[in-house]
Amino acid sequence: MSTHPDPDLNPGDEAEPGTPGAGEDLCESCGGSGKAADGKPCPECGGSGRVMRGIGGG
């Protein structure tokens, strides 16, 4: 198991794109705008406004 985070993932991502059972969602930190309160790119989504979340389950 790697101790280095995946460079393609943002802190708010729960899974890599294409992972079964995961889907794109609006970032809760910036409300999907991609910007933090200070106008800089949101640190949770990397400025995209979207994060990967686990969906469904069972």
Residue 51 lies in a domain: yes
Domain count, the chain: 1
Residue 33 lies in a domain: yes
Residue 52 lies in a domain: yes
Residue 28 lies in a domain: yes
Nearest Cα residue to 27 out of 11, 12, 8, 5: 12
> Can you give the pLDDT at residue 2?
43
Residue 49 lies in a domain: yes
Q: pTM, whole model, 2 decimals?
A: 0.73
Residue 35 lies in a domain: yes
Neighbours of 22 (CB within 10 A): 17
CA–CA gap between residue 21 and residue 3 (Å, rounded): 24
CA–CA gap between residue 51 and residue 34 (Å, rounded): 10
Where would I find the beta strands (DSSP E) of the chain? 22-26, 50-54
CA–CA gap between residue 47 and residue 41 (Å, rounded): 4
Query: Which residues span the domain enclosing 40?
Result: 22-58
Q: Mean pLDDT by 10-residue block, N- to C-terminus, for the chain (58 residues)?
A: 61 88 94 96 96 80
